[in-house]
Structure 1
Amino acid sequence: MFIDLAKAFGRFKIWEVVCAAVVPFIFFPLVTIQGSKYSDPRVTSYPAKSTVRDWLDSIVWAVVAALIIRTFMFEMYTIPSSSMEKSLLVGDYLIVSKMGYGPRVPNTPLAFPFVHHTLPWSKTAKSYIEWPQLPYKRLPGTTDIKRNDPIVFNFPAGDTVSEVYQSNVTYYQLCRYFGKDKVMSDKKQFGDIITRPVDKRENYVKRLIAMPGDTLQIIDGVVYINGEIGEQPEEMQHNYIVKITGNGINPSILEKYNITEGYRTAHADELIFNMTGKTAEEFRKLPFVTSVTRRIAPAGTEVSEDIFPNDTTHFKWNADNFGPIVIPQEGTTVKINPENIALYDRVIRAYEHNDMKVKDGKIFINGEETDEYTFKMDYYWMMGDNRHNSQDSRFWGYVPIDHIVGKPVFVWLSIDKNSGKIRFNKTFRFVD
C-alpha cells in the first residue's frame, strides 16, 4: 500500500520505496512538504521496470512483510540461560506471540532490521537511532495478562549497561560493588556506559508470579500470593543438599536424572544440585544417597545488597525469605517515607520519569514535598522456575507493563548445549 502510494507521488527510486515502506510516517509528510503532486494510479502509466528493479521490489516487499510480522505478531527467541529450567531449557528456540497481550508500537522506529540492540558485525555499535522516541502504546490483544504465564519482557535494569558487562552484571550492581565514579570513569575495566530505550533492552523470559495489587511474600522458599500458597510449576527446581557414601556420583547418574547444575561443598560427602521435587524423591531412593534436603536460607541470613530493594538497612530479606510486598498498581496511592522509599525509587524515577530527592528526612517529587505517590502504570513480579539459579524480580524488582513483549507459545527446536544434538523429545511442544 505505502509503496503504491509513493509511486502515486512520483517516487520510484529504490531508497524512496524503502523509506515509504519502513518509515511512512516520516516519508509522506516530507513528500508533501516538498510539493510532490498526487496522481491517480488508475489513470497514470508508470515507467516499465527492469528485471533487477522487479527483484528489488520483491525483496523490499518480503523485508517489509517480515518486519511487520516480527514487530506486531510473532518473534523468535532463544533461551540463553537456565533460569526457567526444567520448564524451558537452554537451547530452546521459541515462538513468542505478541498478539495475545497486544503488540507494542515500537518506541524506537528507526532501527536496523532483524537485530535487537547491537549491529551483528560489532560488539558495541547501536542498531538503532534514538530519535525519534515514540511514547508507549499497546494495541488491543486477544487475552489478558494472567498470573503464572511465562512471559518475555525487556529487562528493566537493562536501561543502563556497561559496554563490557552488558546485562550479565547490571550497571547498578557494578555501582554497588565499585562505586559510581569508578564505573563511569574507568573505560578500560567497564567500557562506555550505554543507555537503552525500553524496546532495545535485553529480552528476558520468566514466569509471572504476582499481578498488580497482589501482596507477595516468600517464606522458606514457598511463594504466597495474598496469603495463600501460589501455584507451583510442575518442573520448578530448587537447590538440594545431597549427602552420599563415597566421594562422588557417576556422571551417567546425573545424565539419567537430567541434572545439569550442581557443585561440591566443603564436605567430601556433600553436594548441591538443582532438581525438581520429583527428581529429589527419586534420588532419595538411590543406594549411595544418605539424605536429600532442600537448601533454604533462613530468614535474616544471607542478606545482601543484591536483593531487592537493595537496602539492607531497612529490609533484611533474602531469596528464600522475602517480603511481604505489595505490587504497584495503576491508580493506587501509597505512603512513602525514607524507610520504605527504596521499594518505589526505580518506579518513581526510572519508569515513571519523575525527579525525586530525599533531603533531611523529607521526600520531594518534582520539587514538591510529599508523603505519598500514585502509580501511573501497572507492574508485575517475575521469577524463574529454577528458583535458586535465576536473576529475577527478587534481585531487581518490578516489571512495568510497558516492558512486556509477549508470551512464548511454542518450542520449534531444542538443542542440547553440551552435545550439540537436537532434543527431539523437547521439540515441537507448546509452552505451559
Structure 2
Amino acid sequence: MANTFTLLLIGATALTGLVWLLDSLLLVRFRRQRVLKGESSAGKAFDAETINKLMAEPGWVEQCKGIFPVIAAVLVLRSFLFEPFQIPSESMMPTLLKGDFILVQKFSYGIKEPLNNHTLIPTGHPQRGDVVVFKYPEQPTIDYIKRIVGLPGDRIIYRNKELYIQPACTEGQTPCPQLQKVSQTFLGDYQTDPYPMERFAEQLGPVNHKILKIPVALDQVQNYYHQSGNLQDEWVVPEGHYFAMGDNRDNSKDSRYWGFVPERNLVGKAVFIWISFEFERPEDSAMPGWIPSAVRFNRIGGIQ
C-alpha cells in the first residue's frame, strides 16, 4: 500500500509537472500567435481584456499547474523529510497504541530515493533503543514498526522473557564487552483482555522505555528464527543488519521469528505522535468501526 501511494504520488507529480512544462515552453506560444493573428486580421491591437481572454489557459492546464507545486511539495516532504504512519497493531504497546498516528523522520538513516529505498546520501545509523519503521523483510511492500535491540555484531539472547545483549567488540577494543542482562524494573500490572499483563521499565542503551509481558504466556522458542551455529533463542546480528523487537514482547512478530532487518529496508525513525484516535465502542453501536470514538489528546508528543 505504501509503495502504491508513492507510485501514484510520483506519477501525479510527473504528469502535472509535464503539463506545466509543456504550457510554459509550447502552448503559451500558440496562444500568443493566436493573439497576433487576431490583431492582424482586425487591423488593430486588442485591448487588455481581449488579450487576457485569448491568452487564458485551458481549464485542464490551469488545474494541473495549480496542483503541481502542492503535490511536488508533498512528494519531497514525504520522501525525504517526514512521513505519516498509522499504528496498525498492538505489538508496540505501551509505547504506541493502535490508533496512534505518528511522524517518521525519513532522513535519520539516509536520504533515500522514494521508490526503491536506495540510499542516496548516508546521514546516520539506528542506535540501540530507536523506534524505527522498516520494510518487512519477508514482504517489503509492508511497513513494520519495532524497536532496535541489536546492532551489527551484537549477540542477542531472549530466554525466559529476559533479554541479554553482548555488544559487538570493535577493532582494538580491550577488553571486549561481556554478555549482560538488560535492566528491567517491574512497574505493576497492566490490565487488558484477554490476558493480564505486567509492565516493566527497560533500560536499552541510553533509552528508558516501557515494555509489556504476559506472565502466563510461554516463549514460542520452537517458532524462533534459527541462525545456523547458535541456539534457538540466540542470535548474532550480521553486518549491515539489525535485530528489532516489539515492546509488547508476547504479542509481537519480530526478529525473533523472522530474522534480521537489512539496513536497506530502513524507512526512518519514529519521532512524534501527532494525533491518537480511540475506536472502542459497544458491539451494538450503529457507528462504523472505522470512525473514531474519541481523541486521546494526552498521547500527543514525542516517542521514547
TM-score range, shorter chain: 0.5 to 0.7
CA change 1:82–1:234 in 2 (3 A) is farther
Q: Does 1:101 align with 2:79?
A: no
Alpha-carbon contact 2:84-2:102 (below 8 Å) kept: yes
Determine whether 1:429 maps to 2:289. no
What SS does the aligned partner of 1:148 have? coil
Any idea what SS the aligned residue of 1:418 has? Answer: coil
Match of 1:274 among 197, 222, 231: 197
RMSD: 3.6
- After superposition, the Cα gap between the structure-2 partners of 1:138 and 1:388, relative to the gap in structure 1 and judged at 3 Å, is farther
Which residue pairs with 1:307 in the alignment? Answer: 224
Change beyond 3 A, Cα 1:234–1:151: farther
State the distance in 2 between where 1:99 and 1:149 align.
Answer: 14
CA distance in 2, matches of 1:57, 1:315: 59
**Match for 1:327: what amino acid?**
V
| 1:274–1:388 Cα contact (<8 Å) kept | no
Correspondence for 1:327 among 216, 237, 240 = 237
Matches within 5 A, 1:163-312: 198=140, 201-226=141-166, 227-230=179-182, 259-263=191-195, 273-277=196-200, 294-295=215-216, 297=218, 303-304=221-222, 306-309=223-226
Structure 1 residues 211 and 49: CA distance shift in structure 2, 3 A: farther
1:36-55 equivalent positions in 2, closer than 5 A:
47=31, 48-50=55-57, 52=59, 53-55=61-63
TM-score when scaled to structure 1?
0.47
Which protein has the bigger strand share?
2
Superposed displacement of residue 139, structure 1: 2.4
Tell me by how many angstroms 1:296 deviates.
6.5
* Aligned mates of 1:293, 1:421 — CA distance in 2: 27
CA distance in 1, matches of 2:130, 2:13: 41
Q: Check if 1:59 corresponds to 2:11.
A: no
Q: How does 1:103-142 map to 2 (within 5 A)?
A: 103-108=111-116, 136-141=118-123
Structure 1 residue aligned with 2:3:
none
Aligned to 2:289: none
Q: TM-score, normalised by structure 2?
A: 0.65
Match of 2:62, as an amino acid?
A: D
- Residue of structure 2 in register with 1:78 after alignment: 86
Q: Tell me: CA distance 1:411–1:232, structure 2 relative to 1, closer, same or farther (3 Å).
A: farther
C-alpha separation between the residues in 1 aligned to 2:185 and 2:75? 34
1:379 correspondence with 2:251:
no
SS at the partner of 1:402?
A: helix
**3-state DSSP class of the match of 2:272?**
strand
Asked if the contact 1:95–1:409 (Cα under 8 Å) also holds between the matched residues in 2, the reply is yes
Q: Matched residues in 1 for 2:95 and 2:78: separation?
A: 25
**8 Å contact 1:216–1:224 — kept in the other structure?**
yes
Instruction: Figure out how many residues of one structure are paired with residues of the other and give that number.
Output: 232
Cα drift, residue 231 of structure 1: 5.8
| Structure 2 portions without partners, runs of 5+ | 1-10, 32-54, 167-178, 202-212, 282-292
Residues 156 and 231 (structure 1), Cα distance of their counterparts in 2 relative to 1, 3 Å cut: farther
Name the SS for the 1:63 alignment partner.
helix
Cα separation, partners in 2 of 1:66 and 1:155, compared to 1, 3 Å: same
Maintained 8 Å contact 1:261/1:274: no
Q: Which runs of 5+ in 1 are unaligned?
A: 1-14, 23-27, 32-38, 109-134, 159-197, 238-256, 264-272, 279-291, 330-377
